């Protein structure tokens, strides 16, 4: 469980660290705590699994990654854990989820694939299917991004 100070830290840093030569010191000062205390709290939050990682967020379109597709497969229930882990290993896959199948939509494995073009995404799907034994992946390409944010502390 997190306490009030942890919540303040998460809230203060959810939009990123200050852009400076001393981002942790600056963030700590803004919170009214010492840098060592901030770092200690962040390490504890990471160890507990509340924070998975601290990382830079890349502007993928500016890097030439212009295509992304949600790919779905129907995977036998007994195989979904193993195959999902294999799919998740591909560098081009940023999200990989198991979801419950529905009578009108039997797919249960979802992966988001990013590439420079739609043909590049399709090549990744072929590689995934070759490596896993899957087939018949259905691709839905993104056309417009309405919102994209990280999970937020409220």
Residue 47: what pLDDT? 94
Residue 86 clears pLDDT 80, i.e. is over it: yes
pLDDT tens digits, one per residue of 87-128: 999 999 999 999 999 999 999 999 999 999 999 999 999 999
Say if residue 83's pLDDT is above 80: yes
Q: Tell me what pLDDT residue 21 has.
A: 94
Instruction: Tell me the pLDDT tens digit for each residue of 20-76.
Output: 999 999 999 999 999 999 999 999 999 999 998 887 777 777 878 889 999 999 999
Q: Is the pLDDT of residue 151 over 90?
A: no
Domains defined along the chain, listed by start: 4-47 (no CATH), 67-141 (3.30.70.3460)
What pLDDT score does 145 carry? Answer: 85
pTM above 0.75, yes or no: no
Maximum Cα interatomic distance, the chain, rounded to a whole number of Å: 55
């Amino acid at each position: 469980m997190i306490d009030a100070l942890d919540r303040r830290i998460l809230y203060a840093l959810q939009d990123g660290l200050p852009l400076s030569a001393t981002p942790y010191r600056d963030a700590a000062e803004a919170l009214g705590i010492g840098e060592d205390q901030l770092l200690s709290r962040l390490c504890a939050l990471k160890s507990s699994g509340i924070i998975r990682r601290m990382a830079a967020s890349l502007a993928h379109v500016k890097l030439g990654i212009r295509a992304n597709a949600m790919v779905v497969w129907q995977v036998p229930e007994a195989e979904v854990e193993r195959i999902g882990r294999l799919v998740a290993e591909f560098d081009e896959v940023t999200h990989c989820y198991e979801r419950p199948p529905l009578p009108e939509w039997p797919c249960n494995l979802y992966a988001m694939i990013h590439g420079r073009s739609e043909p590049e995404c399709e090549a990744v799907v072929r590689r995934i299917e070759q490596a896993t034994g899957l087939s018949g992946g259905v691709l839905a390409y993104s056309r417009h991004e309405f919102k994209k944010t990280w999970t937020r502390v409220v």
